[in-house]
Amino acid sequence: MPEPRLSNRVALITGASRGIGAAVAERFAAEGAHVILAARTVGGLEEVDDRVRAKGGTATLVPVDLMDHDKIDQLGQSIFERFGRLDIAVGNAAMLGDLSPMSHYAPKVWDRVFSLNVTANYRLIRSLDRLLRGSDAGRALFVTSGVARNAVAYFGAYAASKAALETMVKMYALEVATTPLKVNLIDPGVIRTKLRAQGFPGEDPMVHPAPEDITDRFVELAEPAYRRHGEIVPV
């Protein structure tokens, strides 16, 4: 049987109660990582925890609203106090917002989308940077989307926020280039998720891969041996 690829690593995954976040968390745990599951939905976190433990993995649950940005600062401190380190961070949590012409977009919805998709990830970087740099092979992964680079009408706040996320993460990668920390963006493509269904409610979801079908690339980017840095990596 092959050696687990993330043995004894400590990994934080946001948006871990469903979809890509849940699938990545379960796969990381199966590869030997202790996973810290962060999301708003307690019931969803508990279901993921049950599946992780049923397969012999271990998890810590962190029910948190990432739009309460001060809680993200507390998250870094809590991880340090419990584990003393963090090896992997996956910034996955995101929201679509409304599908609307730019001139009609509701300001409150715009602000909420940017609060989660951009500002929460900035606060994660701010909170977790020293922990990740303290790892022998820190890995920070942020989930992006092709609409950040290829505009799609009516995807206003989501597309703009993912473009902002990409620029922010690339800057962070430049700033830590002389450290062991590797920072990358990962573009999963079109996946069978709730967010996809919100954006394209009329399509057959079964024509797209399930989240668990794309976790290989996440494991690859999280491994200590991975060397690419500051890139957008497609699944």
140: exposed, middle or buried (Cβ count in 10 Å: 0-12, 13-18, 19+): buried
Structure tokens at 27: 């796969």
CA distances from 5 to 8, 25, 49, 152 (A): 9, 14, 20, 37
Q: Which of 105, 122, 154, 158 is catalytic?
A: 158
C-beta atoms surrounding 214 within 10 Å: 18
Residue 10 sits at φ, ψ, to 5 deg, of: -110, 125
Q: What is the DSSP string of 22-67?
A: HHHHHHHHHTTPEEEEEES-HHHHHHHHHHHHHTT-EEEEEE--TT
158 is catalytic: yes
DSSP string, 81-97: HHHS---EEEE------
- At which residue do the structure tokens 């699938």 appear? 23
CA dihedral 40, 45, 47, 53 (to 10 degrees): 180
Calculate the alpha carbon distances from 28 to 65, 101, 143, 165 in Å: 23, 39, 16, 24
Q: Which residues does the annotation mark as catalytic?
A: 158
